[in-house]
A and B are shown apart, each in its own frame.
Chain A
């Protein structure tokens, strides 16, 4: 059974460019989470969805960040325009119901020059 799939695994872009990160959750999971991990701030929850509906986006840093989940098997996190301080590893995770353990994808390492 495939785990959480994220693409791309690495992204290097220049300041001001648009960046789109993609996630496919585990089939049957109804919760999807986007996290950001940096050395300085640790692991931060950005937004999460339940049954494709955004539930809590209070962790989204600013309007440059947006996330969508058009269906149960796909979600995107978009940064437009990107800035060097957005450089981090972005993880997607999914779970079956909100109280069960979350399964993390391999992450996308984003570098904004």
Chain B
């Protein structure tokens, strides 16, 4: 069964702290995606990780991909309140006829408190 598991599902952080969100996926996917969703809003693309060892950074967020371990991480450095949102990872199906499908995790709801 195709599955993308994120943990934790809920994360309450203090401003200034660091933390990591983990994303385990079940297939030999060649691409991993991270999205952000603010309450009542749409999904915004953050990162596309294309290969093993890929690392991308944008501001206080850094994403990495380990295809051998089927693991991606989203690291938050010195959290600020504006980072409060739900973060989704998704893997791309790459077999059969459904090569466009993304399988999403349940999301990690991040709350950054002063």
Contacts and interface: CB of A to CB of B under 8 A. Distances in A.
Interface stretch (B12-20, B61-69, B71-79, B93-101): B93-101
Contacts of B35: 104
Given A42-B106, A43-B88, A101-B48, A50 B42 contact: no
A45 to B, nearest CB: 6
A98 B45 contact: no
A56 B42 contact: no
A1 B105 CA distance: 29
Interface in B70-114: 88, 92, 94, 97-102, 104, 106-107
Contacts, number: 51
Interface residues of B, number: 22
Interface in A28-81: 31, 33, 42-43, 45, 48, 50, 55-56
Contacts of A42: 104, 106-107
B107 A101 contact: no
Interface string B32-50: 0101000001111100100
Given A42-B106, A42-B107, A104 B97 contact: no
13 contacts: A43-B104, A45-B101, A45-B102, A55-B98, A56-B98, A56-B100, A99-B31, A99-B99, A102-B33, A104-B35, A104-B44, A105-B42, A106-B42
Top 5 closest pairs, chain A to chain B, by CB: A98-B100, A104-B43, A43-B104, A104-B42, A101-B45
Interface of B: 30-31, 33, 35, 41-45, 48, 88, 92, 94, 97-102, 104, 106-107
